[in-house]
């Protein structure tokens, strides 16, 4: 689990550096989407990681020695999501009046649910649909509700 967490963390940190780089480009919205998409099973490597992650958190429910690590990893993801949303709010990229704590939980639940569905039903929930749902959610956070 530590190796898995390290691999995911490394990819997310790379995306975060790009996002925070003042010369990293002007499409911050697309960069946020790419950063969050790193948590989704979009390819064979990430599908395997997601399946391992789901096995680990399931095992942590019945094995007390794993619970603290599972909670720590979830807290890290929630912190990342909250930071992304807080930065977007500061940049004026979110709809006014959002409760960041609620939106953090909502986005975390969305990512978890998409991951679970894609691992359980890879033929039904593919990378395109994962990206589309994440993109639509980010659009609603920004106050854009596409038809």
110, 134 in Cβ contact below 8 A?
yes
Has residue 147 got a pLDDT over 60? no
In the chain, where the domains are located = 2-141
Single pTM value for the model = 0.88
87 or 106: whose pLDDT is higher?
Answer: 106
CATH topology of domain 2-141: Tetracycline Repressor; domain 2 (1.10.357)
What is the Cα–Cα distance from 73 to 29, expressed in whole angstroms?
Answer: 25
pLDDT tens track for 58-83: 999 999 999 999 999 899 899 989 98
Has residue 6 got a pLDDT over 90? no
With 0-12 / 13-18 / 19 or more C-beta atoms within 10 angstroms meaning exposed / middle / buried, residue 69 is: middle
C-beta atoms surrounding 8 within 10 Å:
19
Least confident window among 14-28, 59-73, 101-115, 118-132: 14-28
With 0-12 / 13-18 / 19 or more C-beta atoms within 10 angstroms meaning exposed / middle / buried, residue 10 is: exposed
Q: Write out the H or E segment, with its range, that includes residue 84.
A: helix 64-90
């Amino acid at each position: 689990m530590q190796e898995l967490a390290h691999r995911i963390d490394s990819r997310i940190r790379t995306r975060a550096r790009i996002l925070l780089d003042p010369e990293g480009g002007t499409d911050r919205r697309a960069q946020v989407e790419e950063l969050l998409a790193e948590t989704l099973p979009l390819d064979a490597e990430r599908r395997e990681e997601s399946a391992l992650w789901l096995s680990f958190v399931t095992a942590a429910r019945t094995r007390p020695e794993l619970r603290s690590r599972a909670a720590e990893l979830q807290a890290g993801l929630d912190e990342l999501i909250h930071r992304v949303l807080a930065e977007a709010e500061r940049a004026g990229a979110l709809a006014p009046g959002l409760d960041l704590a609620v939106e953090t939980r909502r986005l975390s639940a969305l990512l978890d649910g998409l991951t679970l569905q894609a691992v359980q039903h890879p033929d039904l929930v593919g990378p395109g649909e994962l990206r589309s749902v994440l993109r639509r959610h980010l659009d609603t956070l920004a106050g854009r509700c596409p038809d």
